[in-house]
Amino acid sequence: MKRLAIWPLLFSLGALAAAPEVPGWHEYQGGRLAAARVAFWQAAEHGDRVAAFDLAMMDWRGEAGPVDKPAAVFWLKKAADLNLAQAQHALGLLAERGDAVPKSLTEATRWFTLAARQGYLAAQLDLGTQYFLGRGAPQDDRLAAYWYEEAAKQGDVGAQYLTASMYEHGRGVKQNIPAAIRWYARAGAQGDAGARAKALDLAKSEMARRAQNASSGSFR
């Protein structure tokens, strides 16, 4: 089975939540980091979850002040408690790594689940992997297949390939070769040459099987 491409860790990218309407965003974009930090802090204090997330990112990286991981985690939890999927996923990554929070794969799964249920693609991928590997959750092919397919529906190529493979082999789902062909083809259309080849090979095999069944009088 093809392995999912490793998602870059959120904090390695240092990605702030893009929300131009949040106070401080334009200052941050313009490089006025001290002003941005003050604006994010004021908005976060008044319950703005995106501002809380962005403030966490600044504290994590030490922008307009020293690196302060405990403060970053504090603001991440504020944002996560206000149901920001990006913050929930970030906390899951930290729990998975044991970075600034106690290492706990079970806690990582809990955070991934909260974010995945909101349709957050990265969390759906990570949650699928938790179930696929039995990491921080009981091994469950059915739930792995479900979350990979949810991610596949959002266009992730790796998830599309995995979903196709699970349909092809009947792992976590009822074996369905036409569905496998469709998902391989969707991944192939996005440039995955291996998926394109799999779609063609499966389609040829399926056509040959049907032709053989027809010639033998089998309608199964």
Residue 100 forms part of a structural domain:
yes
Please answer whether residues 188 and 199 qualify as being in contact, where contact means their C-beta atoms are separated by less than 8 angstroms.
yes
Predicted local confidence at residue 209, as pLDDT: 82
- In angstroms, the CA 64 to CA 72 distance is 13
Total structural domains in the chain? 2
Single-letter code of the amino acid located at 140 = D
Contact 130, 136 (CB under 8 A): yes
> What is the per-residue pLDDT for 217?
61
pLDDT value of position 156? 98
Question: What value, to the nearest 5°, has the Cα angle with vertex 93 and ends 27 and 149?
Answer: 105
- Residue 211 confidence (pLDDT): 82
Is the same domain home to 112 and 170?
no
CATH number for the domain harbouring residue 148: 1.25.40.10
What is the structure's pLDDT at 6?
30
Predicted pLDDT of residue 8: 38
Give the integer Cα–Cα distance in Å for 47 and 51. 8
pLDDT of residue 196: 97
88 and 1 inside one domain: yes
Residues 106 and 145 in one domain: no
pLDDT at 21: 82
pLDDT, residue 2, reads 36
pLDDT reported for residue 155: 97
Same domain, 108 and 41: yes
Residue 48 has a CB neighbour count (10 Å cut-off) of 24
Same domain, 161 and 87: no
pLDDT for residue 213: 80
Tokens of 170: 């009947």
User: Which parts of the chain have pLDDT scores under 70?
Assistant: 1-15, 17-18, 216-220
* Predicted pLDDT of residue 179: 98
According to the model, what pLDDT value does residue 47 have?
96
With contact defined as beta carbons under 8 Å apart, do 29 and 39 qualify?
A: no
Separation CA 48–CA 68 (nearest Å): 20
- Asked whether residue 112 is assigned to any structural domain, the reply reads yes
Q: Are residues 162 and 113 in the same domain?
A: no
Q: Does residue 130 form part of some domain? A: no
Q: Give the pLDDT score at 14.
A: 52
Say if 28 falls within a structural domain.
yes
Q: Which domain holds residue 65?
A: 1-120
Q: What angle do CA 85, 43, 86 make, to 5 degrees?
A: 10
* Residue 169 CB neighbours (<10 A): 12
